Chains A and B, each alone.
Chain A
Amino acid sequence: METTVPVAKRASPFLLAIIMITLVLSLMSIYQGIDAYTQDKPESGSLFLTMGVTTLAISTYLLFQTKKRVLKLTMEIPPLTTTLECEKCGFKNVRDFQRGDYVFKQLEEQCPKCNEKAMSIGSIFREIKEKEKAKEPRYS
């Protein structure tokens, strides 16, 4: 099951204008820095470059933050496995979980191997995929 909803509100034009001005200024500062380097002024060059790159990073970050984000909520229903077992001959059969299944439930159906009416639910569980398991940190 998946539900989506737009989260962030529309950014104000005033904020966008400030971000754009900062962005332009940062680019100009970088340009000044490079220019100062080429004119053999490394001190002012590095100052302008540092200021320019820092401001460029901040304004780009803010610009991305104002982007309208869509939030996704996934209420995942993990697949469950039900194991049917014959209490007489030990025959096992695996199928997907069905509503009404529970562990130790006596079933009406006959065992396909010994034809006895001795089938019951031996286990119900979900398996985590190897990919998800790998995400779990292990420091043992």
Chain B
Amino acid sequence: MLTLPTVGFDGLTGGDSLLSWILQIVFLGIFVVFMFYGQRIQMYIMIREVEGSLFKLRMMRDEGRKMAVAAINEIGKPQADPTTQVDRFLEYFAITPVDLDPAGIIWRLEHLLDVQDARLKNDVKLMAPQADETQINNLEMTLEAAVILNVIYKVIRHFYLLGKKTLSLYIIMQVQMILPLIMKEAEAYASALKAFQLGQPIGDGAGALVAGKLMHNYEKTKVEKDVVVAKVPIEGRTAYILKAEGPGANVGKPGEAIKQIMEQNEGKISLAIVIDAAGKLEGEKTGEVAEGTGVAIGGPEVDKYKVEETALKYKVPVNAIAIKEDVGDAVSPMRKEIFEAVDNVIERIKRLIRERTKEGDFVIIAGIGNSIGIGQ
């Protein structure tokens, strides 16, 4: 028969005391709980972590919206309060074309992007009637950053609520695992809002800056949508230098412009060099320059496709120069390291031209990227 020891001061301290029995039972209970509910406890910890980030994302989204409204009021001087229009803009979406039958998808995608661009620009014009062309472009970019913050917030909120509702560890886990990367991107866009609003040059404009420096003080002509071209003598060759028209936020259609130049010259182009900012790997230095082959144009790939097609048709060799930076640097005001990399890129362009073309040849130099805060 089990006899329990009496509880006295001595009993409390002894190894066989009542207290030690209670403690052992409690701890055994805890181990059993952890055995059966360990995963659930882990999930609650993850949910809490996601919840914290979600609050931060909501603050960023609200701040982005507030800044966009303030910028429109300040620059556009609208008659009525633009908040409702801004809210409608934040919910704007675009449906990508059918890819089940991929033939002609590029042209359908291009059409959709053109429609979207015209629609957004028109909406901004209606919201900010007093703004000039440059300011409209900058406001559009501010609003687009606010849209990105809104989308990020809503997607994370969706997975958070879904995970909470279904109590599925795997739904919560996948959000929690990619959360540091998402937060990094969201923070970059949140800090970039002011830069867009003020029209400051951003890291993504590194390619445009190279082209701007090469074409500065030469006569420019506007070709295609928001792209400027200058004919510049470099190392005894003639270079067609092109970039998106600045200083407003613009990426233009460099692919179409390169295609037109190649066709106008009936393919007599000895070399095409495309310069763009490229995502760096962790450990690589910001502003590092690398060379390669191919068309260095990011985004929805319509422009990249057009250059590849035309280069193939006329057998024009396409070289790429990349200026390394991370996503945060790409959307935030240009860092000194990126600015200083421009001279290095120009030296490389000259070397490439000397090594791969003959005097009197024609070359194309395309500076890709957003021309916000960068003239020509």
The 0/1 profile, CB within 8 Å of A marked 1, for residues 360-376 of chain B is 00000000000001111
B333-A73 in contact (CB<8A): no
Residues on B lying within 8 angstroms of A by beta carbon are 13-15, 19-20, 23, 26-27, 30, 48, 51-52, 55-56, 59-60, 63, 190-191, 193-194, 198-201, 209, 212, 216-217, 246-247, 282-283, 285, 332-339, 373-376
B residues in contact with A127, CB < 8 Å: 335-336
Q: A32-B20, A103-B212, A139-B283 are in contact. Are A126 and B59 (CB under 8 A)?
A: no
Question: Smallest CB–CB gap between B324 and chain A, Å?
Answer: 13
B residues in contact with A1, CB < 8 Å: 63, 194
A125-B283 in contact (CB<8A): no
A103-B19 in contact (CB<8A): no
- Nearest residue (CB) in A for B215 is A104
A7-B55 in contact (CB<8A): yes
Question: Smallest CB–CB gap between B354 and chain A, Å?
Answer: 26
Residues on A lying within 8 angstroms of B by beta carbon are 1, 3, 5, 7-8, 25, 28-29, 32, 35-36, 39, 41, 44, 48, 51, 55, 65, 69, 71, 73, 75-78, 80, 87, 97, 99-105, 123-128, 137-140
- Nearest residue (CB) in A for B64 is A75
Q: A25-B26, A104-B376, A138-B283 are in contact. Are A125 and B339 (CB under 8 A)?
A: yes
Question: Smallest CB–CB gap between B161 and chain A, Å?
Answer: 16
Most A-side CB within 10 Å, residue of B217, B338, B373: B373
Q: A7-B52, A41-B15, A51-B23 are in contact. Are A124 and B373 (CB under 8 A)?
A: yes
- Identify A124's interface contact among B48, B216, B334, CB under 8 A: B334
A48-B23 in contact (CB<8A): yes
- Nearest residue (CB) in A for B342 is A123
A residues in contact with B283, CB < 8 Å: 137-140
B374-A103 in contact (CB<8A): yes
- Identify B338's interface contact among A44, A55, A76, A125, CB under 8 A: A125
B15-A44 in contact (CB<8A): yes
Question: Smallest CB–CB gap between B152 and chain A, Å?
Answer: 14
What separation, in Å, do the CA atoms of A35 and B12 have in the docked complex? 10
